[in-house]
Structure 1
Amino acid sequence: RFENLTADAQARAKEAADRAVALSKNAVEFNRENIETLIESGKIAAKGAQEIGKTNLKYTRENFVEASRALQGLFSVATPRDMFEKQADYVRSGLDRVMDQTSNNADAVVKLAGKAYQPIADRVSEIRKELNKAA
């Protein structure tokens, strides 16, 4: 009888150990997939930020050229009134450009946030499905 009890206890201990090993393998795989998802999201965000930076650099160059043209135009005026009109036109167009670029940047950041979040949303959806299966 003692041998039966020990054999039964050993079998149960082996089953518990096997379950613990399986759970730890599942946990490792689960965490690996989570980290891969975060890395993918980070890559998307970095690439998008780089594109936004390129766009802003192009915008800055264009503004510099426009400011140079405006300055040259101010040197060619005949009257103070002409100077004020040209200066007002430049300020007006500059404000319009700033507003356009600000709007474009806001749109680009919102799109980028959506793209960068998508892998995380997909992963959360997968986790929910697995939890519903387990329940």
Structure 2
Amino acid sequence: MPITKITAATKTIEDAVAQAKQNLEGLVKAQQEQLEKAQAQLLKSYDDLAALSKLNVDAVVQSGTIVAKGAEEAGKQVAAFTQASLEKNVAAGKALMGIKSVRELIDFQNAFVKQSFDALVAETTKLQELSVKVTSDAIAPLSARVNATVNTFAKPIAA
């Protein structure tokens, strides 16, 4: 009988060791699966963040391009206005040569100042309208990216 008890005890210990080994293997496998799942989620999040960053940079470049084109257009408008003003000043200088009285000079001067001021106001208005348009156009891609980024970060992370 003692051998039977030893055999039974050995069998019980072997069964317990086998069960412990099986439980440990299951635990290791479960941890490995969770680690792989977390790693995949992390890589996906990184890829999403990289794509988001690229789109944000693209929006900044697009906005910068719009500002540069607007500045170029404003520069052309200022150059054209300066050229037109210079031509008007040269014509006014020639007209001054033909003035024969003080009254004609005063009338000419008043008309010239009024015309010059009206042209300046009109040109300033055109430049202001261009500035507002360029600013609105340049902000549009940035605003769209801010909204998209806020929406992206507002979404709960899928488990």
TM-score normalized by the length of structure 1: 0.90
**Aligned length, in residue pairs:** 134
Say whether 1:39 aligns with 2:75. Answer: no
Percent identity reads 22
Name segments (4+ residues, structure 1) moved above 6 Å. none
- Residue in structure 2 matching 1:62, options 84, 97, 105: 84
Query: Is the partner of 2:99 in helix, strand or coil?
Result: coil
**For the Cα contact (< 8 Å) 1:74–1:87, is it kept in 2?**
no
Shift of 1:99: 0.6
Distance 1:110 1:100 in 2: 16
Structure 1 unaligned residues grouped into runs of 5+: none
Matched, 1:79 2:101: yes
Find the aligned partners of 1:2 and 1:115 in 2 and give their Cα distance: 63
Deviation at 1:121, TM superposition (A): 2.6
What per-residue deviation string (whole Å, max 9, x for no partner) do you get for residues 11-61 of structure 1? 111111111111000000000001101111111111111111111110100
Match of 1:110 in 2: 132
1:122 matched to 2:144? The reply is yes
Query: Does the residue aligned with 2:104 lie in a helix, a strand or coil?
Result: helix
Question: Which range moves more in the overlay, 90-99 or 2-11?
Answer: 2-11
User: 2:18 maps to what in 1?
Assistant: none
Give the structure with higher Rg (CA): 2
RMSD: 1.6
